[in-house]
Structure 1
C-alpha cells in the first residue's frame, strides 16, 4: 500500500471561467475559485493570474486555501492589474 497525498505545486494561478476566472478584474476585490485536485500555491504573496490561454492579466494574492474532496478552494484578491497583458507560455 502506498501512502501519501497527490498534489501539484503551482506558482501561477491559471483559471478557466468555469473554475472562477473573474469576468471583471478590480483591484482589492476578492473572488473564489475551485481547482481540481490538491494544489500547493503560495499564500499572502503576489502571483500571476492567467486565463486558459496562458495570458497574464493581473497579480493576485491567495487569502485562503482549502483542500476538500480532491479539490482546492481558493479565495484570492486582485493586487495589481497589468497595463499590458502578456503571454507567459510560448
Structure 2
C-alpha cells in the first residue's frame, strides 16, 4: 500500500515578523492598514491582537490581521496597527 501523501506545507505563527522588504511599515500609525507578503503558507490568527516584530525580533506594536490570502506559495496579509508599545522589547533572548 505504498502511496504518496499530498499535503500543503504551512507554518503556524502567533506573531508577525517582517523585514522592510516584506512590508514592515516605515511609520506605525494606530488604525492604519498595511500590506505585507511572507514566503510560503502561514497560519496566523485573524481578528485578534498579535505582536508585530522587526527583523531583529524587537516588538513595537500589536496588530490585527484583517485579511490573509494564500497564493503562489506566499501569504499576503493586510493588517491594522492596534496598539503601539511605550517601550519596544526583544521577544527572543
TM-score, length basis structure 2: 0.96
Structure 1 runs (4+) greater than 3 angstroms displaced: none
Q: Distance in 2 between matches of 1:81 and 1:58?
A: 4
- Find out whether 1:54 has 2:60 as its counterpart: no
1:10 is matched with which residue: 5, 10, 13?
A: 13
Q: Which runs of 5+ in 2 are unaligned?
A: none
Q: Aligned runs of 1:22-33 on 2, under 5 Å?
A: 22-33=25-36
State the distance in 2 between where 1:2 and 1:23 align: 43
For the aligned residue pairs, the C-alpha RMSD in angstroms reads 0.4
3-state SS of paired residue (2:21): helix
- Give the unaligned 5+ runs of structure 1: none
Aligned residue pairs total 90
Residue 20 (1) aligns with residue 23 (2): yes
Counterparts of 1:13 and 1:6, CA distance in 2 = 18
| Match of residue 71 from structure 2 | 68
